[in-house]
Structure 1
Amino acid sequence: MAATTFLLELGVEELPPHAIDTLSDALADGVRHGLAEADIEHGAIRAYATPRRLAVQVHELADKQPDREVERRGPALAAAFKEGQPTKAAEGFARSCGVDVSELIHLETDKGTWLGYRERRPGEATKNLLPDIVSKAIAALPVPKNMRWGASRTEFSRPVHWLVMLFGSDVVAAEALGLTAGRTTFGHRFHAPQAIELAHADDYLSAMENAWVLADREQRRERIREQVLAEAEVQEATAVIDEDLLTEVSGLVEWPVALTGSFDERFLEVPPECLISSMKANQKYFHLLDEQGRLRPLFITIANIDSADPQQVIEGNERVIRPRLADAAFFFDTDRNRPLADRIPELASVLFQQQLGSLTDKAHRNAAVAAFIAGQIDGDVGHARRAAELAKCDLVTEMVLEFPELQGTMGRYYAIHDGEPEEVAQALEEQYLPRFATDAIPVTRTGLALALADRLDTLTGIFGIGARPTGTKDPFALRRAAIGVLNILVKGELDLDLRELLELATAQHQELPYAGGLVDEVLGYMLDRFRAWAQDEGIDAEVYLAVRSRPVTRPLDFARRLRAVAAFAGRDEAAALAAANKRVANILAKQDEPIPASVDPQRLQEDAEKSLHQAVMARQERVMPLFAEGRYQEALDALASLRQPVDAFFDQVMVMAEDPEIRANRLALLAALQALFLEVADISLLQQ
C-alpha cells in the first residue's frame, strides 16, 4: 500500500487569537478520528494555524483502506430450511448478498446456528473518503460564535476564503463551507498577497515561510520569545514574558517582528501593576524591568510586518500607549482623593448574591470569622476586623472598574496611602491568595485570616442557598475556594478544625434555605477535594481513601496522615499488613455478639496469639504518644514490625474457636490490632 502526505488548509479572515489553538487542535483531532473510523493507516499528524488559516498535515497516509472481511448474519438455520429446502427467508438473504443459497455458510453463536455470508471487500481509496472526513471534522469544530457573510447561508467563526486539499500532488475533489478544494493558498496579507500554487502537500511549511508566514504555532511562539529577549538584551533590561500573553500575541501575527518603544518616565509614579495591566490588556505589550526589578519606561510590541521604516511603527505605538497610561495615572490620582474607608457605604449597593446580600453584608460576616481565626493563629484581631471591612472597597474604585485584575493590589496601594497599618494593607491583596492550586499563600497572619474567612463565607453561603456545584458547572468557583482553604491550612501549618470554622461561618448568615446538615455537607465536600490535592502531591487514590475513611476534620492533620500512609504504603510490610487488616475487618464485621473491650491474657492459649498480644501491647505503648503529637509516619514505621506476629497468628491460630470465651478473646485481640492502625487510617483500603 502506497503512502503520501495529505494537506488540509482552510483560509479565513482573522480568527479570535484565544480560539486559534483550540480550533487548530480540534481540526487535527477531527481528521485523526475520521481516519481511525475509516481504518486508514497514517503517520504523524501536525496541526498548524495562524490568524488567517487552520491547517492539518497528515504524513504517510495510506492511499486506501486495508481489505476487510465482512460477515453478515441472516435468518436462523431453523427458519432458513424446511424439509431440506431453502425458505423464502434464505433465498431473500442470498439475493441481498448477491450469491446463491449454496454459497452461504453456517454461523455458530451462543444463541444457536444462523445462516451467514462472509466476503472480502477491497478497501476504499483514501481520496474518496477524505471529503467526508474533512467535512465532519470542520462541522465538529468548537466555534466560539458563528457568523454569516454576504448572501451565503454558510456559517463559521469568520468568513472563509479558500480551501486547500492535497493528497500528495493531487487535488482532492471536495467541498466544504461553500468552497471547492484546490491547491491555491495565500501568504502574508501585506508581504505576499498574491496567490500561491502548491505543487505537493509536503511543500506547505516551506512555501508559507517563503510567503512571510510562520504556520507552525510553536515555531512562531518561540520566534517571538527569542526576539523579545534579544530586544531586552539590547536595552540591558529583563523582559517579562507572560505565557498567556505570548500565546495571544502569537495568535495575532503571521510574521512576528519585535520592536521596542518607550513612554514618559513621569508615568512611573503610577503603581507598576497599573501600567503593566494597561500595556498587556490594551496593547499586548511585553514590559521590561531593570536590575532591581523595577519597571523601565520601555515596552516591546510585536508587529505583523517587517517594515522598511520600523521607527514609524514604534512611534505609532508610542502615540497609542500614551493616552492609555495617562488614563491609568488619572484613575490613580482620582481614587486617592478619597480614603478607602469612605467607600464602605458604597458596598451596600453592590450585590454579592441576591439571597446572600450585598458586599456590606459579606464584609460583616467576614469580619467576625476573620477575627476569630486571627485569635486562633496568634494574629491581631483588630487588624483582621479592619481588613475585612476594607477588603472589597477597591472594587468600587475607578482603577479596578477599568482593570478588574487589579482587585486587591489597588486596595493595598490605597490603604498604604491612607495610613492604614501595613499588615492590614497587605492583607487586602493577600485575601485573593492562592489564586490557583500551586500559587503562594498569604504571608501575614491578617492575610491568612481574611483569605480563609472570605472563602468559608462563600462556601457556606452558596451551599446554603442550594447552589451546589455540579460536575460541569461551578459558577461561584467553589472547588477553587475549597482547595484554597486546604492549601492555606496545610501550607500555612494552621492546625484549625474545619468543622468549627464552618459552624462559625454558617452562624453569620441570617437565613439560609438549606441550613439543615449544611456544615456536614460542606465539610464533606471540602475534604473530598483532598483527592485532587493528594494527586498533585503524587499520592495514590487508595491512600486518600484510607485516610478519608477516618473522622478527621483538621486539614493539616489530614495532610500529615496522607503523607505518612503514602510513605508506609511504599514499605515491604505494607501489602501484608493491609491484607491482614482487610481480613480482620471482614471477621469483625460478621460478629453479632459484642466484642470484649480488652484482651484477657489468661485466656491466650497458642504461642502465636501470645506473641501477637505482647507485640500489640508493646507497640501500643510506643505509638500512642506519637499519635497524640501527630507523628504518624514514625508511628506507622513502628507498627510495620507487627507483620511477622500477625502472619504467624493467622497461620497458626483458629480465630473462630469453638469455646466462646476463647473466641471472644481472640476477636478482642484482633480489634486491638485494628484499632492501632485506625488511629491513622484504614489501611485495609490500600488493598483496593
Structure 2
Amino acid sequence: MTTQDLLIELGTEELPPKALVQLAQSFADSIKTQLTASELAFTYVKSLNSPRRLSVIVEGLQTQQVDKEVEKKGPSVDVAFDADGNPTKAALGWARGNGISIEQASRLKTDKGEWLVHKATEKGQPVTALLQDFIERAIKQLPIPRPMRWGSSEHSFIRPVHHLTVLLGNEVVTCSVLGIDSSNTVTGHRFHHPELVTIANASSYIEQMADAHVLVDFEQRKAVIREQIEELAEQENATPVMDEALLDEVASLVEWPVAHVAHFEERFLQVPKEALIYTMKDDQRYFPLEDNQGQLLPRFIFVSNIESKDPKQVIEGNEKVIRPRLADAEFFFATDQKTPLAQRVEGLHKVLFQKQLGTLGEKAERISRLSGAIATLLNDDAEAAARAGLLAKADLMSDMVMEFPEVQGVMGMHYARLDGESDLVANAIEGHYHPRFAGDTLPDSKVACAVALADKLDTLAGIFGIGQTPKGDRDPFALRRAAIGLLRVLIEKELPLDLPLLVDEAIKGYGDKIKASSALTDSIVDFLLGRFRAYYEDQSVPVDVIQAVMARRPTVAFDFDRRVHAVHAFKSNPEADALAAANKRVSNILAKADQVGSSVDPDLLSEAEEKALHSALDSVRNDVSADAEQGNYDAALSRLASLREPVDAFFEQVMVNADDSAVRANRLALLSQLRAQFLNIADISLLQS
C-alpha cells in the first residue's frame, strides 16, 4: 500500500481571531471523517492555521482505495422468472443495471428463499479523484454565521479567499474550490516574506512556512507567546495577567509573534486596576503586569506580528495607542465620583428590566427586600444585605460601566467605598454577580451570598412568572446559568436554605405583576432541581446516584449534596448491589400489595429469618433516623449496609405472600419498614450495578 503526506491550505484575508481555532479544527475534522468513511487509511490528521490560512496535514495517507468484492442482491428467483422460466422485467432491469446478463448472475440460497446475486469487484479510486468533493464538503460544513462575497465573485466565504494549495507528496492535486484553482504556492508573512512560497512537499510545509516567518501550528505559536511573556515578566520582576482566552486570541492574531514591554503614566494607577486591566486586555489584547502583592504596575506586554529592526518605534506606537484608552477610564472614574452611588438608584427606574416586570429600579427594590429576608434566615446582617441589594445595580448608570460593561459590580464596589459604605456592603455589591461562569469564585460573606441569591431568585421568579421559560437552546435571560450559580452558592457555602421557601419569598416581591401559585413555585423548584444533574455530572457523579437522591426530592440544596456524596460512596460498598436489588424487589412487592400496614406484630413472626430481619432492623432504626436527621448520611448508610445478610436470608427462606392473610400483612409491614429506612436518604433501588 502506497502512502504519501497530504497538504490542504485555504489562503484567505485575516480571519476572525475568536473563530480561527474552531474553523481550522472543523475543517480538519471534516477531512478526517471523509477519509475514514472512504476507507482511506492514514497515520495522523493535524489541524494547522494562522490568521491568513486554514490548513490540514494528513500524514501517511493511503493514496488509493483498496478494491472491494461486493454482492449486489437482486430479486428472488420466484419474482425473477415467470412460470415458463423466462426472466421477468424486474430481473432484466436489475441485470442491465449491473452490466451483466441474467445468465451471468449467481444464486444465493437463504432460509427465506433463493435470490439472484451479482458478485462484482468495485475498483478503488485514487485519493486524488476524491479530494475535490472532500474539500468542498468540508468548506460547506464550516461554522460560518455570516459568509461574505468579494469582488465580482459569485462565491462566498467568511473572508475573501486568495489561493488553494493541495499537495499529495510533491504533486499538485488538481482541484478548483470557491473559484480558485489549486497550486503548490502559499503566501508567507505579509511583511517579512511578502512573496509567494513554493511548497516542495507536503511534509516540508511546516518547516518552509517557518522559514517564511509563519508559525502554522497554533499550539506552537501560543507556546512561543507564553514563553516570551513569561521571560519578559521575569525581567521586569512582575507577574503577567494572562489567561487562556487572551492567549488564544493573541495567537490567532499573529503569524510571527514578538513580545515587547511598554509603559504608561503612573497617574493612571489612581483608577481601579480592574478598569485598567479590562482596557488593556479586552480593548488592546495587552498583558498587564502586577507586582508580587498583586498591585498593578505601569507596564504591560504586547505581542507584535513583526520583528522590527527598530523595536523602540513599535513600543512607542503601542504606548501612544493605550494612552487615550486609559485617559478615558481616568475621566470616567473622576466624573462618576461626583454622583454618589445611592443617587444613581433613581436612574435605574428609567431602564427597563423586562416590559412585563418593570424597571431595573423596581428590581433593585425587590433584591433589597429579598436580600434582607435571606440574611435574616442566615442569622446575619439583614440591614447590610438590604443596603447592598439596593445598590447592587446602581453602577450600571455610571459612565465607566456604560463604556466598559464587564466591570459592573467591581466599579460599584469601589464607588461604594468612596461613598463611605461599609466594606461588607461594598464587597457584596461586587460579589453578588458571582459565580459568573463555571469554576468562578463565590461570594465571600453571608451578606454577599444573600444578595447573590436574591438577584438570581428574582430573575427566575419573574421570568417563570410571565411564562418565558427556557426552551431548547433558547435561554435569553441565562436562567440555567443563574440556577447553577444559585445551587453552587447554597451547596459550597453550606447554606441550609429551603428552595420552595426562597422561591415563594422571591415571588412575593413581584406583587400583582405575576400570579403567585403552588404550580409556579413547583415549576421553579423543579427547574432548579433539574440543574443538579449537570452540576454533578461535571464532578463525574453517576446518573443513577443523582436519580436515587432526586427520587426523594430534597429541596435543601446543601442537604441534597450530602445525600449525593453519601450514596456515591455507598455505591462502592460491597453490600450495595445486593441491597439495591433487594430494595427494588421490596418496591415491586409493595407496589402490588392492596394495603400495607405500618406496624409489625412480633407474635406473628414465625420464621427464624424474618425474626432475624426484624431484630436487625430494630437494632439500627433509631441510630439511622438520628444520623439522617443530622445529615450524617454516610453513617446511616453504613449502618443499613449491615442488613444485607438478614435481608438476603429473608428472601431466600421466607414466603412473603403467605396463605394466612395476617402473616402476609405482617411480612409486608416488615418490608415496608425496611424500605422506609433507606428512603430516609435515597431510593437506592435505582442504583445500577
With normalisation by structure 2, the TM-score equals: 0.98
Equivalent residue, structure 2, for 1:453: 454
Which residue identity does 1:556 align to in structure 2?
F
Q: What is the correspondence of 1:467-482 to structure 2 with a 5 Å cutoff?
A: 467-482=468-483
Contact 2:507–2:516 (8 Å) recurs in 1:
no
Equivalent residue, structure 2, for 1:524: 526
Deviation at 1:69, TM superposition (A): 2.4
Q: What is the correspondence of 1:122-521 to structure 2 with a 5 Å cutoff?
A: 122-509=123-510, 510-512=512-514, 517-521=519-523
SS in 2 for 1:291: coil
Measure, in 1, the Cα distance between the counterparts of 2:629 and 2:644: 23
Structure 1 spans left out of the alignment, 5+ residues: none
Measure, in 1, the Cα distance between the counterparts of 2:650 and 2:608: 9
Equivalent residue, structure 2, for 1:87: 88
The CA deviation string for residues 512-570 of structure 1, in whole angstroms up to 9 with x for no partner, is 26956111011011111111221223211110000000031110110010011011111
SS in 1 for 2:130: helix
Equivalent residue, structure 1, for 2:563: 561
Which residue identity does 1:517 align to in structure 2?
A
The CA deviation string for residues 410-467 of structure 1, in whole angstroms up to 9 with x for no partner, is 0000000001121111110001011123222111221110000000011111111111
SS in 2 for 1:687: coil
Which residue identity does 1:649 align to in structure 2?
F
Measure, in 2, the Cα distance between the counterparts of 1:110 and 1:160: 58
Which residue identity does 2:574 align to in structure 1?
D
Which residue identity does 1:632 align to in structure 2?
Y
* Counterpart check, 1:533 vs 2:535: yes
Equivalent residue, structure 2, for 1:578: 580
Which residue identity does 2:577 align to in structure 1?
A
The CA deviation string for residues 268-304 of structure 1, in whole angstroms up to 9 with x for no partner, is 1111111111111221110111121111100101000
CA RMSD in angstroms comes to 1.3
Contact 2:265–2:298 (8 Å) recurs in 1:
yes
The CA deviation string for residues 484-509 of structure 1, in whole angstroms up to 9 with x for no partner, is 11111111111011110001111212
SS in 1 for 2:487: helix
Measure, in 2, the Cα distance between the counterparts of 1:397 and 1:604: 77
SS in 1 for 2:641: helix
SS in 1 for 2:429: helix
Greater shift after overlay, 63-72 or 402-411? 63-72
Equivalent residue, structure 2, for 1:39: 39
Measure, in 2, the Cα distance between the counterparts of 1:411 and 1:506: 27
Greater shift after overlay, 102-111 or 44-53? 102-111
Which residue identity does 1:36 align to in structure 2?
T
Q: Tell me: CA distance 1:516–1:664, structure 2 relative to 1, closer, same or farther (3 Å).
A: closer
SS in 2 for 1:293: coil
Greater shift after overlay, 238-247 or 64-73? 64-73
Equivalent residue, structure 2, for 1:75: 75
Measure, in 1, the Cα distance between the counterparts of 2:197 and 2:111: 61
Measure, in 2, the Cα distance between the counterparts of 1:108 and 1:506: 72
The CA deviation string for residues 87-145 of structure 1, in whole angstroms up to 9 with x for no partner, is 23222222221112122133456765432222121211111011111111011111132
SS in 1 for 2:125: coil
Measure, in 1, the Cα distance between the counterparts of 2:272 and 2:396: 17
Which residue identity does 2:67 align to in structure 1?
D
Q: Tell me: CA distance 1:514–1:386, structure 2 relative to 1, closer, same or farther (3 Å).
A: closer
SS in 2 for 1:349: coil
Measure, in 2, the Cα distance between the counterparts of 1:545 and 1:454: 29
Contact 1:437–1:487 (8 Å) recurs in 2:
no
Deviation at 1:470, TM superposition (A): 2.0
Q: What is the correspondence of 1:543-562 to structure 2 with a 5 Å cutoff?
A: 543-562=545-564
Contact 1:262–1:318 (8 Å) recurs in 2:
yes
Deviation at 1:339, TM superposition (A): 0.1
Measure, in 2, the Cα distance between the counterparts of 1:353 and 1:611: 64
Measure, in 1, the Cα distance between the counterparts of 2:635 and 2:446: 31
Deviation at 1:79, TM superposition (A): 1.6
Measure, in 2, the Cα distance between the counterparts of 1:109 and 1:292: 81
Which residue identity does 1:476 align to in structure 2?
F
Contact 1:464–1:515 (8 Å) recurs in 2:
no
Deviation at 1:33, TM superposition (A): 1.7
Contact 1:411–1:429 (8 Å) recurs in 2:
yes
Measure, in 2, the Cα distance between the counterparts of 1:631 and 1:292: 42
Contact 2:508–2:516 (8 Å) recurs in 1:
no
* Counterpart check, 1:64 vs 2:64: yes
Measure, in 2, the Cα distance between the counterparts of 1:556 and 1:528: 15
Q: Tell me: CA distance 1:466–1:516, structure 2 relative to 1, closer, same or farther (3 Å).
A: farther
Measure, in 2, the Cα distance between the counterparts of 1:404 and 1:130: 47
Measure, in 2, the Cα distance between the counterparts of 1:316 and 1:196: 31
Contact 1:285–1:299 (8 Å) recurs in 2:
yes
The CA deviation string for residues 615-661 of structure 1, in whole angstroms up to 9 with x for no partner, is 01111022111111111110100110000000111111111111111
Measure, in 1, the Cα distance between the counterparts of 2:630 and 2:445: 26
Measure, in 2, the Cα distance between the counterparts of 1:321 and 1:96: 72
Greater shift after overlay, 84-93 or 430-439? 84-93
Contact 1:393–1:411 (8 Å) recurs in 2:
yes
The CA deviation string for residues 394-416 of structure 1, in whole angstroms up to 9 with x for no partner, is 00111001111100000000000
Deviation at 1:241, TM superposition (A): 1.2
Which residue identity does 1:587 align to in structure 2?
I
SS in 2 for 1:181: strand
Measure, in 1, the Cα distance between the counterparts of 2:110 and 2:249: 58
Measure, in 1, the Cα distance between the counterparts of 2:470 and 2:295: 42
Measure, in 2, the Cα distance between the counterparts of 1:109 and 1:322: 84
The CA deviation string for residues 331-352 of structure 1, in whole angstroms up to 9 with x for no partner, is 0000000001111111011111
SS in 2 for 1:260: strand
Contact 2:92–2:102 (8 Å) recurs in 1:
yes
Measure, in 2, the Cα distance between the counterparts of 1:12 and 1:477: 36
Deviation at 1:369, TM superposition (A): 1.3
Greater shift after overlay, 271-280 or 111-120? 111-120
Which residue identity does 1:31 align to in structure 2?
I
Which residue identity does 2:549 align to in structure 1?
V
Measure, in 2, the Cα distance between the counterparts of 1:155 and 1:70: 40
Measure, in 2, the Cα distance between the counterparts of 1:625 and 1:88: 83
Structure 2 spans left out of the alignment, 5+ residues: none
SS in 1 for 2:575: helix
The CA deviation string for residues 292-328 of structure 1, in whole angstroms up to 9 with x for no partner, is 1111100101000000000010011111111111110
With normalisation by structure 1, the TM-score equals: 0.98
Equivalent residue, structure 2, for 1:542: 544
- Tell me how many residue pairs correspond in the alignment: 687
Contact 2:456–2:482 (8 Å) recurs in 1:
yes
Contact 1:279–1:321 (8 Å) recurs in 2:
yes
Greater shift after overlay, 80-89 or 52-61? 80-89
Contact 1:23–1:142 (8 Å) recurs in 2:
yes
Deviation at 1:75, TM superposition (A): 2.3
Equivalent residue, structure 2, for 1:51: 51
